[in-house]
Amino acid sequence: MTGTLNIGMVGYAFMGAVHSQAWRTAGRFFDLPLTPELAVLCGRDAANTQAAAQRMGWAAVETDWKALVRRDDVDLVDVCTPGDTHAEIAIAALEAGKHVLCEKPLANTVDEARAMVAAAARAAERGVHSMVAFNYRRVPALALARRLVEEGRIGEIRHVRAVYLQDWIVDPEFPLVWRLQKDKAGSGALGDIGAHIVDAAQFVTGDRLTGVSALTETFIKERPLVGESSGLAATATSQRGTVTVDDAAIFFGRFAGGAVASFEATRFATGRKNALRLEVNGSLGSLAFDFEYMNELSVYEAGDDTAGFRRVLVTEPTHPYTGAWWPPGHGLGYEHTFTHEIADLVRDLGAGTAPTPSFADGLQVQLVLEAVERSAAEGSRWEEIGE
């Protein structure tokens, strides 16, 4: 493929904004075989969608995603909506011959995710490709960590620790936004941020979880109903509704290669804003990462006579992605992970190769999330992860 890649995006709030910036930016810093064009933005409210399109650079708008999918001037559909709509939109787009980028988690249920994987497989036979948007894979430091593991620098993986700590709903008067409703979000902290650390741990180690033992908790059972909302910002009314998702999820796991692991995802870590942390301990060394210091990777290799971790500033031209940006020492930010994601996707589409992570990768994470929920419901019983 060469020429223009016309993008149609469904959703314009938090994820829609960062995806829009990534589509605008990727071709300006990375040498891409296709030129992304922001063709059509879709949202339910015509006035708000038009305002978002003007603000973010989209050429046209639709208020019905089905109309967007039918348009001849759309080559790829970017799904930035709540999880309850992912399957319907993505499957319809693939069947219409459109490439698809879908936000994580892939779906709200395993059955939905399986249907999406089947649709993706059918589409791939016609040269139509899909990808699930686990953006943290594109943090340069985590991509470097994966490279070091692949090179055998830390030896046999023995222990993994992964946490994702946020505090944006600690206030009991924070309103009942869609992320706190199971019918729209699928799960709470587990699916919203736990999915990220499951994928990050499996990505860096190159291994898959095979079983888990878990517990979940909902600390605040009722919240004010939503008035007006935009992304994570919302106004509250005087009426209250029931929170139907978890506020925190903690689980142990075992990898196929024998490593043991612990995971913690919570939106009640007061004072923590976006602390995604991953530590991988191997027979020859260890790696440690914290997204709140996203341009750094801590590395320890056996035989180092300093007997401690060394800080690697991941901004060198030889490090993943960073050579396209600023001189060494000039750090990147959250939005760059999405730009890297788009650049990788467009390069794969140009080459006609299957992008990663695939919908099948998204299904595998969904299977882990389902096993965590089953385990928590059964008093932390050990649950094998399905195929």
- Residues 243-273 pLDDT 10s: 999 999 999 999 999 999 999 999 999 999 9
Provide the pLDDT for residue 1: 59
Q: Does the pTM exceed 0.85?
A: yes
For 331-384, the pLDDT digits (tens) are 999 999 999 999 999 999 999 999 999 999 999 999 999 999 999 999 999 999
Nearest CA to 154 among 279, 65, 12, 293?
A: 279
HSE toward the beta carbon, residue 112, CA cutoff 13 A: 18
For 77-128, the pLDDT digits (tens) are 999 999 999 999 999 999 999 999 999 999 999 999 999 999 999 999 999 9
Is residue 297 helix, strand or coil? Answer: strand
Provide the pLDDT for residue 231: 47
HSE toward the beta carbon, residue 274, CA cutoff 13 A: 9
Lowest-pLDDT range of 185-199, 217-231, 242-256, 333-347: 217-231
Provide the pLDDT for residue 237: 80
Nearest CA to 129 among 137, 120, 118?
A: 120
Q: How far apart are CA 47 and CA 63, in angstroms?
A: 10
Q: How many other C-beta atoms lie within 10 A of the C-beta of residue 54?
A: 11
Q: Which amino acid is at 277?
A: R
User: Which tokens hold the place of 270?
Assistant: 């007061």
pLDDT at 304 exceeding the cut of 80: no
- Domains present along the chain, CATH in parentheses: 3-135 (3.40.50.720), 138-354+365-377 (3.30.360.10)
Give residue 165's pLDDT band: very low, low, confident or very high (50, 70, 90): very high
Average pLDDT, the chain: 96
